[in-house]
Amino acid sequence: MAGVMTFNDDVPVAIVVLGMGAIDTARRIQARYPGSLVHGLVGRVKADVAFTELGPHLRELYARNTPIVALCAAGIVIRCLASALADKTHEPPVLAVAEDGSAVVPLLGGLGGVNVMAREIAAALDVAPAITTSGELRFGTCLLNPPAGYVLADIEQGKRFVSDLLAGATTRVEGHAPWLDAADLPRAADAGLAIRITPHTSKVAGELMIHPRCAIVCVTALSPSPEQSIVERVRQILREQRIASMSLAAVLAPLSMMASAPLAEAAQTLDLPLRFGTLPASFQTLESRDDGMTIALAPHPVDPTMLGQARGTLTVIGLGPGSANLMVPAARQALAQADDVLGYETYVRMAGPFAPHQTLHCTDNREEMQRARHAFELASTGRNVVVVSSGDPGVFAMAAAVLEALDQARDNEQWNAVELSIVPGVSAALATAARAGAPLGHDFCMLSLSDNLKPWAVIETRLRHAAQADLVMAFYNPVSRARPWQLDRALDIVREHRSGETLIVLGRNIGRPGETLTTTTLDKLHSSQVDMRTMVIVGSSTTRSFARANGDGDWVYTPRWYE
């Protein structure tokens, strides 16, 4: 029995635009679907996700079962997807929307909820959707596509049912189906056909079965019988209670089980949201032989987000040096799923645009420990929290502060239950090196010249050793208004060990507006060429350069070998 899921808000919608003319409409549609992203054609329009060719991009989204809203001619979308249609494994909703928002045309994914989306988008744009499905036109609703919270049990059975109705049969409605009240159905109390709304399994010919997602699995103990997995136990209990698996809305467990990996895996295998807390009184618990697990039923479909809380996530990401195309996709994804974004204001702004439901917490650059603690506080209430750093979060940035905060709070169960992850980014030294060529092609070290958090004597010792060891050096935080003399002092130490000919690369605002790249030598370098937005790379004795063929400066590199 194949279940058909209605489109739900968990799958991020891809809104595809080809030019600036469509961006306003795209953003209006985006506001309707939290978490959705606007995909823009490179060179024509800047959006959340860049793509270079429409056809392959649409086919890839389609193959990944992503709902697609393409702001272009329906014909273009049809041509692009034609070759992908033979593969019947997925059928995500696909719609064409006129650039100016004047027409909404559902194209594919009738069973994936395309007409529902067409109505939603049309309502957001204040136009009428172009619905063409005959059952839907006749009855005013698509019987095979019940609203969120309800699942059609069997699509083939459903299709037969609808064609019987179209051929003149009548039907009863058994159970609570409020959305059918407004439908123009050929009802008769004594009809042979019935639409049955029930969480239970049953197979009766001539019935269109719809399961309300009103059942939840309550797990209170992990393994009364260690040899049986949680998933097997769930399947067994469903069989015993004759509850359809499609009726399940969530797995609920006590707060104390929040960090359990087997539980998280089981929920993922069952494709159910995992919530933590206590069972609301409105649920009826079914008796069970398994003393660590029960099924509970609510009178109506359950919105899992109203049940206890989720396991919060805290993701520390690096934005890269500045430009969107140097941010890793995992960081982009974390931002798209974030409820809260914390960081130094400049970086938070760099991480946008944000959806209206996302909360920004901008703080001063010096309040790192406070920010880290605030992030844990938010995440432990079940929110998806992202802390942003520029470059890589582990290089002189927030990841270490976040771990320090957690280390200091070992006894804090809530903080320790948060799902913490760190997403790397392109650090300023790497971004600068790539612009210059490959100055970090051999052994190198990264040093922060800031003595805010470490004694200057430590910095001097490290500089001396690194210079003696002939390491290429990348200087972060080379100067600031509060630290005016440190760079000159550092360069004096380097000059004691390296020749005046040593190559220096200065990258300023790399990947940001007004980016500059300068190549010079140790004896010509002056601290006035450097500010706090500059990365200073000091070459080793083998670092060399040659003129670029286009005459645009030099390539700088450090060979991989030593003489």
**What residues line the site for ligand SAH (CB under 6 A)?**
321-322, 389-392, 395-397, 427-428, 432, 476-478, 507-512, 532-535
Cα–Cα distance for residue pair 377/383, rounded to 1 Å: 9
243 phi/psi in degrees, rounded to 5:
-105, 135
Closer to ligand SAH by Cβ: residue 219 or 474: 474
Query: How near is the Cβ of 495 to ligand SAH at its closest, in Å?
Result: 20
Question: At a CB cut-off of 8 Å and minimum separation 6, what does 266 contact?
Answer: 229, 230, 231, 234, 251
**Token representation of residue 16:** 């595809």
CB of 320 to ligand SAH, least distance (A): 8
Q: Are 440 and 472 in contact (CB under 8 A)?
A: yes
- Would you call 61 exposed, middle or buried from its count of C-beta atoms within 10 A (0-12, 13-18, 19+)? buried
- The nearest distance, CB 331 to ligand SAH, in angstroms, is 13
Closest CB to ligand SAH among residues 105, 326: 326
The residues pairing with 341 across neighbouring beta strands, listed in sequence order, are 360, 386
Residue 390 or 486: the one with the smaller Cβ distance to ligand SAH is 390
If the CB atoms of residues 47 and 474 are measured against ligand SAH, the closer one turns out to be 474
Q: Count of alpha carbons within 13 Å of 34, Cβ hemisphere only? A: 9
339 vs 327: CA distance, rounded Å: 19
Q: How far apart are CA 516 and CA 173, in angstroms?
A: 71
Work out the number of other CB atoms within 10 angstroms of the CB of residue 136.
Answer: 18
- Strand order through the sheet with 516-521: 444-448, 472-476, 534-538, 503-508, 516-521
Cβ distance 39 to 47 under 8 Å? yes
For residue 363, the minimal CB distance to ligand SAH (Å) is 16
Is 36 in a helix, a strand, or coil?
coil
- In the complex, the smallest distance separating the C-beta of residue 404 from ligand SAH, rounded to whole angstroms, is 16
Closest contact distance (angstroms) between CB of 534 and ligand SAH is 6
Using a 10 angstrom Cβ sphere, with 0-12 exposed, 13-18 middle and 19 or more buried, the burial of residue 544 is middle
Handedness of CA 395, 328, 24, 7 (dihedral sign): negative
Alpha-carbon torsion angle 160, 163, 167, 168, nearest 10 = 80
The smaller minimum CB distance to ligand SAH, of residues 344 and 415, is found at 344
Q: How many CB atoms lie within 10 A of CB 350?
A: 20
The dihedral built from the CA positions of residue 394, 396, 401 and 404, taken in this order, carries a sign that is: positive
Least distance from ligand SAH to the Cβ atom of residue 456, Å: 17
Sheet holding 293-297, edge to edge: 274-276, 248-253, 215-219, 293-297, 284-285
Nearer to ligand SAH, 118 or 430 (CB): 430
- Name the residue whose CB lies closest to ligand SAH: 391
Q: Which amino acid is at 478?
A: P
Q: Between 121 and 474, whose beta carbon lies closer to ligand SAH?
A: 474
Q: Would you say 290 and 237 are in contact if contact means Cβ atoms under 8 Å apart?
A: yes
For the bound state, the minimum distance from the C-beta of residue 532 to ligand SAH, rounded and expressed in Å, comes to: 5
Q: How far is the CB of 389 from ligand SAH (least distance, A)?
A: 5
Is the Cβ of residue 36 or residue 477 nearer to ligand SAH in the bound state? Answer: 477
The least CB distance from residue 321 to ligand SAH, in Å, is 4
Q: Is the Cβ of residue 112 or residue 478 nearer to ligand SAH in the bound state?
A: 478
Q: What is the DSSP letter of 7?
A: P
State in angstroms the smallest separation of the CB of 329 from ligand SAH: 18
Q: Which is nearer to ligand SAH, 115 or 427 (CB)?
A: 427
Q: How far is the CB of 366 from ligand SAH (least distance, A)?
A: 13
Q: What is the biggest distance separating any 2 CA atoms in the chain, rounded to whole angstroms?
A: 100
| Residue 89 or 528 having the CB closest to ligand SAH | 528
467 vs 535 by CB, closer to ligand SAH: 535
